[in-house]
Amino acid sequence: MIRVVAIKFRVAGRHYDFNPKELELETGMTVIVETDRGRALGIVVAPPHELEDEPPPKDLKNVVRIATPQDLNLAAGYAAREEEAYRFCLERIAERKLEMKLVRAEYLFDGSKIVFYFTADGRIDFRELVKDLAHHFHTRIEMRQIGVRDEAKLIGGLGICGRELCCCTFLTEFAPVSVKMAKEQGLALNPTKISGQCGRLLCCLAYEFETYGALKKRMPKCGRKVELDGRDAEVIEQQVIAQKVMVRFGDGKRQTVTLEQLERGVTTSPDENSEKGRESNPSESPPAQRGNGDRGRNRPQRNRRSRGGERKKEGDQEKDKDQSQNQNQNQNQKQKQKQKQKPSPKPAAPTPKPPPKDENPPPDGEKRRRPRRRRPRRKKSPQGDAT
């Protein structure tokens, strides 16, 4: 029996089996493992267990040790330099005019290798690019070509449902998806609605495909002839989740019925039939048993209003009349006060009189001379006379 432990390298990455040796590992621990690319940091997904019926995996790698704080700090330092490596590689790709799209640059935890992920339509000769990168970073360089699905998994994003992509959250492996799955679930075959961020068919089309297939087995196919209430009808639509079908009668009317009604050939349920029978034959319903508590139910109700209550109502009515009269008097007084306070209209201002006409006008062409003003003579002071 071989003892293995499941480890992943990314949040939604695939699970790989490793040999834990004699280490006591728990879920969520960070460990250092041997891989084909070198040593790498991984996260324990499941505790060690023994393989009983399954065949042992080939080339089972070992877990080196549990990661120390120094290992984590070293990995964080190199992760901060990934952005610089990504930008430099983009510049070299533009200079070399290579038809490739760079997706991501990734350092190994100890900086012994840099892995560049890219997408391309065909094969790319990137030997000169690798020389430029190795000369600049002084470490081993690996160029890895990936597909469009892996590109969406590395970049991440939001789907048409508004949630984060399945491939970068919990989906570890890509299942094959076909257009037949969309047809079986009754979805519109619109490429924009059934395609994801990667341009391929949505991975979630495979989630409920088997459930739809199991539910459709006991449902009649579209176009099948059935009989309901003694009339011939044709199935024109299936509602798989609700387990109902829509039928069309000979006169063109349509009706939605359940599978149980379709099997019985009647559109009404047995409970509805029993209720209709009771309504049509009310004499069959059992008579109600009368007891002590039923006495006096059919008697006319007595007038429970007492004389005191009537007096109170009459007193309330008189109070209302008095209040209304007082309100009317107050309103009349306010109107009179407003009329007194209004200012009396001001008398019209007298029109100015025109200036008197000159009796002796000057001859034509001459201007009237203004009379000179005589200045009053100054009286001499007695001091001036003495001097």
Cα-based torsion angle of the residue sequence 195, 197, 198, 199 in order, rounded to the nearest 10 degrees = 40
pLDDT at site 346: 55
- pLDDT value, residue 252: 86
Can you give the pLDDT at residue 386? 46
Structure token digits, residue 186 = 């009754």
pTM: 0.57
| pLDDT reported for residue 88 | 93
Q: What is the pLDDT of residue 363?
A: 58
- List of domains in the chain: 2-67 (no CATH), 77-146 (3.30.300), 169-215 (no CATH), 219-269 (2.30.30.60)
- Quick one: tokens of 122? 């065909």
CA 386 remoteness from chain centre: 114
Task: Tell me how far CA of residue 35 lies from CA of 57, 148, 327, 381, in angstroms.
Answer: 14, 24, 98, 132
- Contact by Cβ (8 Å): 12, 170: yes
Encoding tokens for residue 18? 């490793």
pLDDT at position 293 is 47
* pLDDT (0 to 100) of residue 387: 39
Residue 86, class by beta-carbon neighbours within 10 Å (0-12 exposed, 13-18 middle, 19+ buried)?
Answer: middle
Structure tokens at 367: 């201007």
Tell me what pLDDT residue 372 has. Answer: 66
Return the pLDDT at 370. Answer: 65
Report pLDDT for 271.
55
What is the rounded CA–CA span in Å between residue 162 and residue 302?
67
Task: Identify the bridge partners of residue 233 per DSSP, sorted by sequence position.
Answer: 226, 249
Series of mean pLDDT values for 10-residue runs along the chain (387 residues): 83 82 86 84 86 72 88 86 92 91 88 90 89 92 91 87 86 87 87 88 91 88 86 88 88 88 75 52 49 50 50 61 71 70 56 58 58 66 51
